[in-house]
Structure 1
């Protein structure tokens, strides 16, 4: 049962009875709308009634974005099954420092698509960096800001606080992939020779990065149980993360892509030696050993895993001291893939070693290298035809 009440000029209140309480008193859903006349109001009432009966009606919430942020943080973001610690911290920083200061006072129902469009356009201007440096935000930073805004509004939609997510009709900002700088085989040989002057575990760590293409968080998460010395393989199934307010934690690999990677004999021999050193350290520490359920390859003397950012920090110092061409530690992963491509290793094998979701990811990232290798392969036919 439903009816219309005139509330003023071109204003009508729609009433729909959705049930009765224990005392038989009607439970009504109400909504005030603008209409030219009663006939138009009746058409709106019919749509309103249909939405209610189909379960599509969402009652406008008076909750502001700032107030909802607390619910989002407690009921969604703090659950590691929803967001990784790194992603959670990234979203929290973006929401608290960029989005809430501008839109926090607004009701969820008041935030419209145009607000998000304006927000994204504003991020492209100079002076939007939070670190005080000159220049504009990177494409990836802008894309992360959009993801954070979209995420919190998606939760508001799922929890029936708003009818639809105003960000859903906006295309996610594109991130232009930069061509990674890599080391050639000659440069890698020079690099390896320089490592002889450094502590043994750093030599092993860098060689593992080059040969397996593992990410630095995955290298930090490697344990001795992951090495099969008989089969000459290593299992990459977990990673280490160190997020502000959370601390060092073990998590799954990116995209939960576990993989078994074959190792060269030379590196296996180094790992045998390192294993002996680490085992002696553990025995000497006795009850002072931390992380009883884990035995990390690159843990400290107490058994705590190395932080991923410690790896990149050491790497930068190593390059500066030895005046080597500067690339990111992550680019050793790209150097590994490039080296294998140039040696004629099949892209599917490389994809499996890197833990890509499918071979198309490998083709997209290393397409230019594969193209160069293909051109080199074609040139071999010139000598054949000349003969």
Structure 2
């Protein structure tokens, strides 16, 4: 026998009878849930009853973190990219379950999360055998994974509150943004005349379009329209846990970006060369689809994003250019446009930022410098007008 008891304010208690004791009294499993109405609560009761009768139900007070782990994996399935899920699983298997897996969810307190985070900040916590501490982003990701499984337990009614909410996530230090000056950009472009055409094209995409490494690696010929001088950025390639293609960019914002005529010409030349040597080869990256990647090997396999940074480092060293991160070419693209007085909204759109505030946060100091330069025009204008008035 199973039934629902209203508990007020959208709360309902589910009751499932599983037998009787020696005195003939009913033995029940109970769970309180949130539902819009009694009809929805009865649907939840049906699932609860099936779970109880199958023998897979564990009372919330008895469930350990390790026992709840499979439920969490089901819960996040489809909500995260394969790479993110793989990263979370690594953190769970290597850092969280070995120490906290035996604990009942109901006994995990904010102090456990606090100690977990503080331990990660100490020396000797790296697993790659390298010296030094874990990066702030790694510590933060570990915290987020722990928070995620506990929040899942809250959402499923296993525990009432997330103990990780009582602990502030580690702060990330701002990464240093370094960019090339106009003179350095000119030197870079001159050096590109001495490298293979594909590298020249790839670097010019980073500079003139502001595309990220993963976005460049994922470019296909279908994304290029040289007649209208546009390039479509709609997917990204990751090599963190083996090559995987994401149908979205970092900010989940597809964008069509205008490119200079010189870049369109480079695309046409490169396409002709690859066609001539029959090097435009279809490739299935594992998603069951055929892709014609622009920067690919003889078998059509796309270039790995990390190999781009490796080549860039060798390139800057060989041609005696000041080394900045490859990602800083994206920043160089933005600051170049800022110094040319291009509107912030246009720059934000070209970079694929989720909103203009992101652009302001990242490039605020460059915008301030450009603004100071703009004020000089007013000073000069007003001084000239004042001088004329005295004549």
Q: TM-score range by the shorter chain?
A: 0.7 to 0.9
* Matching of residue 278 in structure 1 with residue 274 in structure 2: yes
Q: 1:50 to 1:252 in 2, by over 3 A?
A: closer
User: Structure 2: where are the runs of 5+ without partners?
Assistant: 1-12, 42-57, 385-391
Q: Give the alignment partner of residue 137 of structure 1, picking from 134, 137, 162.
A: 134
Alignment match, 2:68: 68
TM-score (ref. length: structure 1): 0.80
* Matching of residue 146 in structure 1 with residue 143 in structure 2: yes
Alignment match, 1:39: none
Question: Using the alignment, how far apart are the partners of 1:17 and 1:386 within structure 2?
Answer: 80
Q: 1:65 to 1:378 in 2, by over 3 A?
A: same
The structural deviation recorded for 1:71 is 4.2
Alignment match, 1:174: 171
The structural deviation recorded for 1:50 is 11
| 1:67-113 alpha-carbon deviations (Å, 9 max, x no partner) | 4334434x245x3x321233223222322222222212212222111
Q: Is the contact made by 1:19 and 1:26 (CA closer than 8 Å) also made in structure 2?
A: no
Q: Is the contact made by 1:154 and 1:165 (CA closer than 8 Å) also made in structure 2?
A: yes
TM-score (ref. length: structure 2): 0.80
Aligned ranges for residues 359-370 of structure 1 at < 5 Å?
A: 359-370=356-367
Question: Using the alignment, how far apart are the partners of 2:295 and 2:34 within structure 1?
Answer: 59
Aligned ranges for residues 147-162 of structure 1 at < 5 Å?
A: 147-162=144-159
Q: Give the alignment partner of residue 290 of structure 1, picking from 283, 301, 323.
A: 283
The structural deviation recorded for 1:27 is 4.5
Q: Is the contact made by 1:299 and 1:305 (CA closer than 8 Å) also made in structure 2?
A: yes
* Matching of residue 316 in structure 1 with residue 309 in structure 2: no
Question: Using the alignment, how far apart are the partners of 2:14 and 2:135 within structure 1?
Answer: 53
Question: Using the alignment, how far apart are the partners of 1:193 and 1:17 within structure 2?
Answer: 73
Question: Using the alignment, how far apart are the partners of 1:283 and 1:304 within structure 2?
Answer: 11
| 1:204-254 alpha-carbon deviations (Å, 9 max, x no partner) | 00000101111111111111111122211111111112242x543343111
Q: 1:304 to 1:25 in 2, by over 3 A?
A: farther
* Matching of residue 195 in structure 1 with residue 192 in structure 2: yes
| Two-structure CA RMSD over aligned residues (Å) | 3.2
Q: How many residues align?
A: 348
Q: Where does structure 1 differ by over 6 angstroms across 4 or more consecutive aligned residues?
A: 21-25, 48-55
Q: 1:229 to 1:105 in 2, by over 3 A?
A: same
* Matching of residue 249 in structure 1 with residue 242 in structure 2: no
The structural deviation recorded for 1:273 is 0.6
Question: Using the alignment, how far apart are the partners of 1:17 and 1:202 within structure 2?
Answer: 63
| 1:142-165 alpha-carbon deviations (Å, 9 max, x no partner) | 211111111122222233333332
Q: Is the contact made by 2:65 and 2:105 (CA closer than 8 Å) also made in structure 1?
A: yes
* Matching of residue 122 in structure 1 with residue 119 in structure 2: yes
Q: Is the contact made by 2:353 and 2:359 (CA closer than 8 Å) also made in structure 1?
A: yes
User: Structure 1: where are the runs of 5+ without partners?
Assistant: 1-15, 31-47
Q: Give the alignment partner of residue 260 of structure 2, picking from 254, 258, 264.
A: 264
The structural deviation recorded for 1:355 is 0.4
Question: Using the alignment, how far apart are the partners of 1:99 and 1:274 within structure 2?
Answer: 49
DSSP-derived class of the 1:366 partner: helix
Q: Is the contact made by 2:19 and 2:28 (CA closer than 8 Å) also made in structure 1?
A: no
Q: 1:72 to 1:272 in 2, by over 3 A?
A: same
